[in-house]
Structure 1
Amino acid sequence: MNAKQDDFARDWRDTVREIEGMVFDMQSFISATFKFKEAIGPEDNAELKIRTAEVRGKTIWQFTKGPESQNLSRSAAKRTLGKLLYETPVDQAHVTTGEADLHCRIAKKGRVLVSRSKLDLERDVAKTRSHDRQKDYPLTRFDSAALLRVLGFTDSQGSMKPSMHAKYRQVNEFLRIVETTLADLAPSSDAPLNLVDVGCGKAYLSFAAKAYLEATAGVKICFTGIDVRESAIASCRRMADALGWTEDFTFVVADIADFKAKIQPDIVMSLHACDTATDEALAFGVESQARAILCAPCCQHELQSKLGTGGPHQAILRNGILKERLADILTDAFRAQILRVMGYKTQVVEFIDQQATARNILIRATRASRVGMHNAVGEYQALREAWGCTPFLAERLAAACSELVES
């Protein structure tokens, strides 16, 4: 063994020990993904995913290789992973915990390249560690029985309706992010927090956020719900009456493009507003100078028609399904960058796992700087020029920042 091989062996041994410590010794471990240079599973699969779960009160490590999964005890899991990492050539590794991420790549010349990063957004480890549904959901931290019954999540006996499990999880995960955002805003304890729910529908999120934040954070919440459908607004008003909250809620039948806020909103929220309705919600948040914007986009079709089928990206654009998925990603990338141009510190995160809903992307923005910061504008313009199109949101906000559209 030569000096280079000695160096690699030492570096790799140290890295494996760090990975094992994160996977098996940290309570905040979330997940790990390993890509190997050789097949390790069925159908020539070369990828291993690891996560933990609670089964009958015990922690197990679930190893997934392609379509196959195996539940192992800690000792068996550690032996199995160690054997793989030492005996099968590794290409990349990614380990995530509640505090940090570790990325590892083996370079062609045999160097072990490792990068570590702190997390910007607090991650909830409890939700990834249990197969049970007895979890630390925000709506379990106070007496939410009446709220859940009025919203239709539970029946008259207080049991969760099977059809509402997915929506219940979405609302809870959204509440975690609302809570984190509230901490960033540091509201005055004696001033009400004004929230606007755009395309509110049945306003599950609005009702839940008011109940949760007032019960756990002691913050007075005033809400405005906006929806174009009269039937949805009528339903919201009936639920507000049933909860005795008529003084704290305003529900308006309106197109968001035509709505003007009478009071500056602290937080603008939008959960799965379709296509350009998401852009209208974002534009409303920017134009009303909201302190924070939380938006989970739905379908994104508008940009797809502008991409065409030719040019340097023809190999992607000629395939309908790839073009559609590319348009989804590109639309949200444009949206996030435009918010940065408009003075918002912006993150794009997953607010719930994809098994719960494929529409699991959340754009989280808090107002932080002045409009038109040079770096943000330059990155946006480079993105626009690379794809040869201007998104709807840029055109919508052109009056506020002319640099969003071509001169």
Structure 2
Amino acid sequence: MSTAREPDLRPGQSAELLKELHILTREGKLNQDSRRKLKQVYHLHQFIDQLLRELPEQDGGPTIADHGAGKSYLGFILYDLSLKPQGKGRVWGIETRPELVARSRELAQRLGFERMSFLNISAADAATDEALPDQVDVVTALHACDTATDDAIAFGLQKQARAMVLVPCCQAEVASHLRKSKALSLSRTPLAELWRHPLHTREIGSQLTNVLRCLYLEATGYQVTVTELVGWEHSMKNELIIARHTGQKKRSAAQRLRALLAEFGLEGLEAERFPGLPDQ
């Protein structure tokens, strides 16, 4: 067993926050399970903290919008470790469940995390909500379910985000389209064998969804890195997509995205999911 004063915790880190996140026990202890959880949190934080350090200096500090925030553990950790030491910057947690929004607001007030705001709203509606600024530096979406990740990307594009950090979850939309056109696809191309069986339909749909998202980000001016969030033994929802804005829109990425949509019979998704693609 270890205590809150041991080197697993960062200097100045809020022990009360870690208790609320169930990383520390009420007695301030850190057992083996919570030590593993803390390592995962630090792993994600290091990616985002690096992005924050790359941002140009600004008077108000960095702005972060966290979509599908849930209990807002990511937003709280980012505030505690990155924004609080700077004395500037703001986090918006965006969540559809009102009880979680109320809980996060209460916790932020109790901890004195004054530059955290929580909105009871969907990712799709957040882009037009007046409570959010016209431009946001970093957009995060940790396990935002199915098309909520696409909504977070659309939000980031509209808000001219300098970076996006996405961990997609439960990608079902593409798989449902593959299912509907399966008979036609099997007669048209041997590639359809990749999704002939229901399990493979789900898996190839998930994989294809993220490939299309990465191409879309590249086509709209982002440099994309794909890596693991944590080891596969901890989570199967493990793909971490990091996008840095460069302003260089890749026409070749747009062409490949459209070619994939055509190959898999998904052309109908372009207008809804990829409206920002440059003209052919």
Aligned residue number for residue 273 of structure 2 = 396
Aligned residue number for residue 103 of structure 1 = none
Conserved? CA contact 1:354–1:360, under 8 Å:
yes
1:225-304 equivalent positions in 2, closer than 5 A: 225-245=93-113, 247-259=114-126, 260=128, 261-304=132-175
1:203-218 equivalent positions in 2, closer than 5 A: 203-214=72-83, 218=86
Q: CA deviation at 1:191?
A: 3.4
> Are 2:74 and 1:197 equivalent residues in the alignment?
no
> Are 2:50 and 1:173 equivalent residues in the alignment?
no
SS at match of 1:272: strand
SS at match of 1:363: strand
Q: CA deviation at 1:392?
A: 4.8
Aligned residue number for residue 3 of structure 2 = none
TM-score (norm 2): 0.85
1:19-168 equivalent positions in 2, closer than 5 A: 139-160=9-30, 167-168=37-38
The CA distance in 2 between the partners of 1:242 and 1:219, in whole Å, is 18
Q: CA deviation at 1:182?
A: 2.0
Higher strand share: 1
Conserved? CA contact 2:254–2:277, under 8 Å:
no
Higher helix share: 2
Conserved? CA contact 1:198–1:269, under 8 Å:
yes
Q: CA deviation at 1:331?
A: 0.5
Instruction: List per-residue Cα deviations over 1:142-163 (Å, max 9, x = no partner).
Output: 4332221233322221123777
The CA distance in 2 between the partners of 1:391 and 1:180, in whole Å, is 37
Instruction: List per-residue Cα deviations over 1:203-223 (Å, max 9, x = no partner).
Output: 00001011111366x362301
Q: CA deviation at 1:328?
A: 1.1
2:219 to 341, 363, 372: 341
Conserved? CA contact 1:192–1:222, under 8 Å:
yes
1:351 to 218, 223, 229: 229
> Structure 2, unaligned stretches of length 5 or more?
1-5
The CA distance in 1 between the partners of 2:40 and 2:13, in whole Å, is 19
Q: CA deviation at 1:249?
A: 1.1
The CA distance in 2 between the partners of 1:299 and 1:146, in whole Å, is 32
Dislocated runs of 4+, deviation >6 Å = none
Aligned residue number for residue 325 of structure 1 = 203
SS at match of 2:29: coil
Kindly report the root-mean-square deviation, in angstroms, between the aligned alpha carbons of the 2 structures: 2.5
> Structure 1, unaligned stretches of length 5 or more?
1-134
Higher deviation after alignment, 388-397 or 201-210: 388-397
Aligned residue number for residue 363 of structure 1 = 241
Q: Which has the higher contact order (CA 8 A, sep 6+)?
A: 2
Distance 1:397 1:319, change over 3 A: closer
The CA distance in 2 between the partners of 1:269 and 1:393, in whole Å, is 23
Percent of paired sites with the same residue: 31
TM-score (norm 1): 0.60
Aligned residue number for residue 50 of structure 1 = none
**What amino acid sits opposite 1:280 in the alignment?**
D
SS at match of 1:140: coil
Distance 1:339 1:188, change over 3 A: same
> Are 2:58 and 1:182 equivalent residues in the alignment?
no
Q: CA deviation at 1:168?
A: 3.2
Q: CA deviation at 1:164?
A: 5.0
> Are 2:227 and 1:381 equivalent residues in the alignment?
no
Instruction: List per-residue Cα deviations over 1:312-334 (Å, max 9, x = no partner).
Output: 22322221112211111110000
How many residues align structurally?
264
The CA distance in 2 between the partners of 1:160 and 1:393, in whole Å, is 48
